[in-house]
Amino acid sequence: MSRKLDLFDLLPETILFLIVSYLPFKDAAKTSILSKRWRYIWHATTNIEFIESFFRRPHMLHGGGRESQKRAFINYVGKWMMQYQEPKVDRFRLSFSCPNEFHTDIEQWIRVVVNRNVEELDLSFYWFGWEGRFPPYHATLFDLPSCLYEHGTLQSLILAACNLNDSMIKNFSSLKNLSLECIRLKETFFVNMLPNCPSLESLSLKRCVGLNEMNLEERTAMKLRKLCICHCSPLRSTIKISTPSLRFFKYSGSIQSLLLQHLTSIEEADIDFGYAYVRTDEFRYLLCIILWHLHLAKCLIVCSYVPQVLHNRLLDFIPPPVPLEARHLIMKVGLQERELPGILALLMYCPKLNTLTIKMGHVKFRDDGDPSVEFDFKAFCREREVGFQCLRENLKVIEVDLYQGMKSEEELLRYLLKEAQVLERITITTCKEMDPDDAYPDLYFRNALRVRDFEKASHNLLVSIL
């Protein structure tokens, strides 16, 4: 170890500065103990990261301990930033709860990095204990300083739990990535934001409130490649997206009318309607239209709601206008018996499918059907046997996660192995947790071993049980 340090000591400081800038901030700080020469080298890093939770000591959070730790964090960061001498900052990340008491300090830090042409800025101001949720309505959120809105060389902006004034945005001409979480937006957000972000390639909105409608068009988002809309509200109007450049699209939230047009470059789509249970014909038709508008996606990810509403009666009167182009289909399912026809429907509509991933154990929705009526699995398959082109010609890999060995799970795998003629590999990862009925993981593993004895159409099939 000492010899290695001696070799490092031969390097000029400019090279050492470059080394620590490539390290994560915590790892760069650890280099200070290597030798006296390294003690302050890490202060030259251009990737700065201050996260309050790293400074918390759980046994000191009671009484005045939390405030004293907060003050210690502020003092440490203030001293570090005051001593910072580098002319350029590549990335600055700050995570700090309830910041308004220290608004002046934080604004000064932001000014320091903005004046050093920071390219990536990540600011999170979640209240302690409210991480990932929208702050209480009585909370006074942090107001971003005006210098941030005028920073024209910013390339990535990530904000959480603070106030964003979209009317002040004038020059985000270099911005490529914008991620907003738990931000109260105005109806004017897209009107004010997008025209001032002509280089925007990635937009992520998570748990944002205030938007009733969303309209993304090619003329205002001509370079947009990635779009994520996760649990935003109220969004009562149709979400309209018409961006030919879009390659990745994710929507999670309540059942919503998604008008998706001209997505000619789409490569991956992820649709998750969460805890939805409405299964009227109106929503079934709406879901089909959404899927067909995403038919060019090579990777398609769907939640349990999708196969539950795609039942055999629907398939008889809403045929797909075009087959889905998916090569990889990922389904997050229950898995309940009523999901089986929807799963098979998706397989039928994906003739070029190469890889099927089934993630078991996801939320099971309220069953409003007649429990006395059972789904005739074999009859359904027999009637549509000619439709499973992927099983005859293309499906080579099946991956199953959180397998338990329930009847519906076995029935599906038994059918797939019997019909998949070119299947090369099936990997089954069993559930490792005990369920409420006191079933143990070793039972799930034994259930999975039975799959090896299922009838197989492919003679070169490798079955792996994990």
Tell me: the pLDDT tens digits for 309-353?
776 454 554 556 678 999 999 998 876 666 777 788 888 889 999
Q: pLDDT grade, residue 109 (50/70/90)?
A: very high
Tell me, yes or no, whether 69 lies in a domain.
yes
Tell me, yes or no, whether 362 lies in a domain.
no
Tell me, yes or no, whether 198 lies in a domain.
yes
Q: What is the pLDDT of residue 158?
A: 96
What whole-number distance in Å separates Cα of residue 199 and Cα of residue 222?
8
Are 258 and 270 in contact, with CB atoms under 8 Å apart?
Answer: no
Average pLDDT over residues 31-52: 66
Q: What is the pLDDT of residue 82?
A: 87
Tell me, yes or no, whether 329 lies in a domain.
no
Q: What is the pLDDT of residue 36?
A: 57
Q: pLDDT grade, residue 2 (50/70/90)?
A: very low
Tell me, yes or no, whether 365 lies in a domain.
no
Q: What is the pLDDT of residue 203?
A: 96
Report the candidate in 89, 88, 164 with the shortest Cα–Cα distance to residue 125.
164
Tell me, yes or no, whether 73 lies in a domain.
yes
Q: What is the pLDDT of residue 67?
A: 75
- The chain-wide mean pLDDT, for the chain, equals 80
Total number of domains constituting the chain: 1
Are 89 and 48 in contact, with CB atoms under 8 Å apart?
Answer: yes
Are 353 and 394 in contact, with CB atoms under 8 Å apart?
Answer: yes
Tell me, yes or no, whether 328 lies in a domain.
no
Q: What is the pLDDT of residue 115?
A: 93
Tell me, yes or no, whether 108 lies in a domain.
yes
In this predicted structure, which of 211-225, 346-360, 362-376, 409-423 has the lowest mean pLDDT? 362-376
Number of H helices, E strands in the chain: 15, 22
Alpha helices in 53-102 (DSSP H): 65-82
Q: Which tens digits make up the pLDDT trace of 162-189?
A: 999 988 887 899 999 999 999 999 888 8
Report the candidate in 296, 316, 317, 292 with the shortest Cα–Cα distance to residue 306.
292
Q: Hey, which of 60-64, 298-302, 304-308, 357-361 has the most confident mean pLDDT?
A: 298-302
Show the domain range for 168. 46-206
Instruction: Give the predicted TM-score (pTM) of the model.
Output: 0.85
Q: What is the pLDDT of residue 154?
A: 95
Q: What is the CATH number of the domain that holds 159?
A: 3.80.10
